[in-house]
């Protein structure tokens, strides 16, 4: 086992050498990217194609440069060379990221040229994390760089290069003067990752502490403070989780499983398993076998997660990234008999009606498969990742983001990635469940889901080793998405009922909102983010915060000046300075408050002079109701509609 040591800070002489190389380097900017990540999202192990300067701000989270994690709070500046494996993982609040990818080389010709980099000095490959003394300088410069980079300006590359060098200069100035605090690697995160990757080896906690260059007691204390368990307990838990997977999904002997999971022998496995779970490994295997048999033949065919270390011993066969589990002779006979029955029944029913007329949404489930679902226990779902076999009526569903859709079908998810808040219409369905962090295959697997639902196609390969994965494109409308999911999970009736109820209430609302009271009126959705900071001013919304409902479904108008701004900047969400924001307000205002904060803008004379404010046409939405307007699933849209109608009715009275 090896652990990457974090880069040490450079000496004054080293900084001078690095600055000298920066001064003479040939530098060009390859790309400038901007991301906003909510908790539970982010990205992992992105290998940078060029040198990288990363600025992260907003909340707290972890940034990994190769094997070295850094914990940042509010903001951080990071640098890495080409090929750095970059991960950004938000914690409690969203993170805003700017990434500048650049290429740098030393001149190769001329009397002053270099044929190679001076030994031991490589500023373009150096990794570090810095908490800058002046974060607003970096934030403002990067925002301008990104905006200029996206424009068609002929000097955008020159501007980007000049701005990058200015940022590098600022960073080195802080490094040299110790104004900015160097971010220290998160040793507990390094220890956890190392244990997760090497639990099957004869790993000792003392050896791990030595590799991290800290004492055993220091590692134990830090680990316990951050995770609530000791490093030894964490190691045992990872080994037992692996043992459970093998017991449930392979015919291996106790000795084979014990050695594959890091236990000394089968006796050590049995003792530890019994003391931690209250049952022996054999009893656990029998319990899982009974659950497997009760789940139906089709479900038994679902590929199980495998970590790749015990496959050879158990003769698992592979095709691509999918795994096939060896079946018992009895199961093979039953499967063959079932297949013959289906072939005969299909031949006999060739003339049956196979489609639902007039459906505007292509069915994700073929009618032939739907017809055989009760018999086989599975159905075929057509997704962007191909045809996926899923249980006909799954009860244990893990979901990333599409939380409201799953709950609307009457399914309580076993695990989810997203936000949970008490004003969400489906909040009661989440009683006793918290968001899963991090949203990773290893963590999801502990909940034993039958199906995983996600919007991220890039998650498919990893998560499909845990359970069948249904990827639903974000381009689908909320109704089409729910109907798709209802068909895929065997809840068509529930999905149609929710959609029909929404359409009924929507038509009723439209009648009221096209009356003389609201005819030709404009509506704006606004929120005050304060007079200073990276995301400051008054923000307008057109998609989130009820924008989908107000503009797309109700068909209400935006102010003309706001329409012109959006047509120009192509942004459905942005902030306006306090000085000009009043020009973009409509006849009615949906005014979102931030929980626990007073609006500084609402204290100004400008606010009081806005016609909608003076005439009492402000629908104020308290901060604790942010959850109601967070998602755009049909259930949430229905709740938003009722809330807005009640608010408008109160204003009219």
Under the banding of pLDDT at 50, 70 and 90, the label for residue 32 is very high
Compute how many other C-beta atoms are within 10 angstroms of the C-beta atom of residue 237. Answer: 15
Alpha-carbon distance values, 333 to 328, 340, 392 (Å): 9, 11, 22
Q: 3-class SS at 470?
A: strand
Report the chain's mean pLDDT, rounded to a whole number: 81
- Residue 127, pLDDT above cutoff 90: no
* Higher per-residue confidence, 340 vs 43: 43
- The maximal CA–CA distance of the chain, rounded, in angstroms, is 86
Nearest to 69 by CA among 191, 211, 189: 189
* Higher per-residue confidence, 585 vs 36: 585
- Residue 391, pLDDT above cutoff 50: yes
* Higher per-residue confidence, 459 vs 59: 459
Give the chain's domains with CATH numbers: 10-108+119-182 (2.60.120.280), 187-288 (1.10.10.60), 378-490 (3.40.50.1980), 507-651 (3.40.50.1980)
* Higher per-residue confidence, 427 vs 225: 427
List the single range of 294-298, 498-502, 505-509, 593-597 with lowest mean pLDDT: 294-298
- Residue 636, pLDDT above cutoff 90: yes
List the single range of 89-93, 327-331, 617-621 with lowest mean pLDDT: 327-331
List the single range of 228-242, 474-488, 572-586 with lowest mean pLDDT: 228-242
- Residue 325, pLDDT above cutoff 50: no
The pTM of this model reads 0.47
Which DSSP letter does residue 553 get?
I
* Higher per-residue confidence, 622 vs 7: 622
Under the banding of pLDDT at 50, 70 and 90, the label for residue 443 is confident
Alpha-carbon distance values, 353 to 356, 357, 370, 380, 619 (Å): 9, 10, 13, 19, 51
Confidence (pLDDT) at 307: 41
Helix/strand/coil (H, E, C) string of 35-88? EEECCCCCEEEEECCCEEEEEEEEEEEEEEECCEEEEEEEEEEEEECCCCEEEE
List the single range of 119-128, 254-263, 477-486, 632-641 with lowest mean pLDDT: 119-128
Sheet of 588-592, strands arranged across:
573-576, 538-541, 523-528, 588-592, 618-621
Under the banding of pLDDT at 50, 70 and 90, the label for residue 339 is very low
Contact 558, 542 (CB under 8 A): yes
Confidence (pLDDT) at 301: 37
Confidence (pLDDT) at 60: 82
Under the banding of pLDDT at 50, 70 and 90, the label for residue 566 is very high
Confidence (pLDDT) at 499: 96
- Residue 276, pLDDT above cutoff 80: yes
pLDDT tens across 446-489, in order? 788 889 999 999 999 989 888 899 999 888 999 999 999 999 99
Confidence (pLDDT) at 356: 35
Contacts of 292 (CB under 8 A, 6+ apart): 248, 299, 300
- Residue 380, pLDDT above cutoff 60: yes
Confidence (pLDDT) at 114: 54
- The stretches of 349-491 forming alpha helices (DSSP H) are 367-376, 403-408, 441-445, 460-463, 478-488
């Amino acid at each position: 086992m090896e652990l990457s040591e974090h880069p040490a800070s450079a000496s004054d002489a080293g900084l001078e050498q690095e600055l000298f190389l920066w001064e003479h380097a040939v530098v060009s900017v390859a790309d400038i990217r901007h991301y906003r990540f909510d908790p539970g999202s982010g990205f992992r192990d992105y290998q940078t194609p060029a040198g990288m300067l990363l600025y992260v701000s907003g909340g707290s989270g972890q940034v990994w440069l190769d094997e070295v994690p850094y914990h940042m709070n509010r903001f951080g500046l990071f640098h890495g060379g080409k090929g750095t494996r970059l991960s950004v993982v938000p914690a409690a609040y969203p993170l805003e990221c700017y990434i500048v990818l650049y290429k740098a080389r030393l001149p190769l010709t001329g009397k002053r040229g270099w044929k190679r980099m001076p030994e031991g000095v490589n500023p373009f490959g150096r990794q570090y994390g810095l908490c800058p003394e002046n974060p607003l300088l970096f934030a403002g410069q990067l925002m301008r760089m990104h905006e200029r980079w996206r424009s068609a300006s002929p000097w955008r590359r020159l501007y980007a290069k000049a701005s990058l060098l200015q940022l590098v200069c600022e960073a080195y100035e802080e490094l040299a003067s110790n104004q900015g605090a160097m971010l220290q690697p998160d040793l507990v995160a390094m220890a956890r990752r190392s244990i997760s990757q090497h639990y099957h080896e004869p790993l000792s906690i003392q050896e791990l502490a030595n590799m991290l260059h800290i004492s055993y007691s220091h590692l134990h204390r830090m680990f316990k403070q951050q995770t609530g368990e000791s490093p030894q307990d964490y190691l045992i838990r990872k080994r037992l989780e692996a043992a459970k997977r093998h017991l449930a999904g392979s015919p291996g002997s106790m000795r084979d499983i014990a050695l594959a999971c890091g236990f000394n022998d089968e006796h050590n496995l049995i003792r530890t398993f019994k003391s931690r779970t209250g049952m022996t490994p054999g009893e656990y295997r029998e319990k899982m076998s009974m659950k497997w048999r009760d789940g139906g033949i089709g479900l038994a065919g679902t590929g199980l997660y495998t970590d790749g270390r015990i496959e050879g011993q158990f003769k698992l066969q592979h095709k691509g990234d999918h795994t096939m589990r060896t079946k018992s002779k009895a199961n093979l006979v039953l499967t063959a008999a079932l297949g013959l029955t289906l072939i005969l029944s299909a031949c006999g029913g060739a003339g049956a009606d196979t489609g639902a007329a007039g459906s505007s949404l292509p069915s994700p489930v073929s009618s032939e498969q739907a017809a055989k679902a009760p018999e086989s226990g599975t159905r075929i779902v057509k997704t962007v990742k191909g045809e996926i076999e899923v249980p006909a009526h799954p009860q244990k569903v893990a979901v990333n983001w599409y939380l409201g859709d799953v709950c609307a079908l009457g399914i309580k998810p076993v695990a989810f990635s997203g936000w949970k808040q008490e004003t969400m219409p489906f909040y009661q369905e989440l009683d006793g469940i918290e968001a899963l962090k991090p949203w990773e295959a290893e963590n999801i697997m502990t909940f034993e889901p039958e199906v995983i639902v996600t919007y991220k196609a890039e998650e498919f390969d990893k998560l499909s080793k845990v359970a069948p994965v249904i990827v639903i494109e974000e381009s689908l409308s909320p109704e089409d998405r729910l109907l798709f999911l209802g068909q895929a999970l065997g809840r068509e009736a529930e999905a149609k009922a929710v959609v029909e109820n929404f359409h009924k209430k929507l038509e009723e609302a439209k009648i009221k909102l096209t009356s003389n009271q609201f005819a030709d009126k404009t509506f704006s959705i606004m929120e005050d983010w304060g007079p200073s900071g990276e995301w400051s001013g008054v923000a307008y919304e057109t998609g989130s915060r009820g924008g989908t409902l107000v503009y797309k479904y109700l068909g209400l108008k935006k102010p003309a000046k706001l329409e012109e701004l959006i047509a120009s900047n192509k942004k459905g969400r942005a902030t306006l300075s306090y000085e000009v924001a009043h020009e973009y307000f409509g006849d009615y205002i949906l005014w979102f408050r931030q929980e626990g904060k007073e609006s500084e803008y609402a204290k100004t004379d400008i606010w009081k002079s806005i016609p909608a404010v003076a005439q009492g046409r402000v629908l104020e939405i308290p901060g604790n109701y942010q959850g109601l307007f967070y998602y755009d699933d049909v259930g949430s849209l229905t709740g938003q509609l009722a809330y807005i109608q009640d608010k408008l009715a109160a204003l009219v009275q």
